Amino acid sequence: MFKGDWKCSGCGKSITELPFEPKNTSNLTCRDCYSSGKVVKKPLGEKKIFQGNWKCNTCGGEINQLPFEPKSTNNLTCRECYMKTRG
């Protein structure tokens, strides 16, 4: 058992002993929260949007924003073409 002075991210109760050594203490839960299945969700924050001037390889339409920075423009598709392929 590992001894320490941590706080439960579910209810804020003090945790003094754990059966493992925590690497990340921001999402620890006490026994009560763990057994009750209480899920602690962290806010995700805002996703970064990349601006640019790309062309869709399927329809040739313009793509001005992407949720990722493309490493290559060989296989970029616009949202509409992407949704069509997903079915």
Reading the chain (87 residues) residue by residue, the pLDDT tens digits are: 889 999 988 888 999 998 888 888 878 888 888 888 765 555 566 678 899 999 999 999 999 999 888 998 888 999 999 999 886
pLDDT at 62: 96
Q: What integer pLDDT is reported at residue 40 of this predicted model? A: 53
pLDDT of residue 45: 65
pTM: 0.46
Kindly give, in sequence order, each residue whose CB lies less than 8 Å from that of residue 82, ignoring residues fewer than 6 positions away. none
Q: Dihedral (C-alpha) 47, 50, 55, 58: value to the nearest 10 degrees?
A: -20
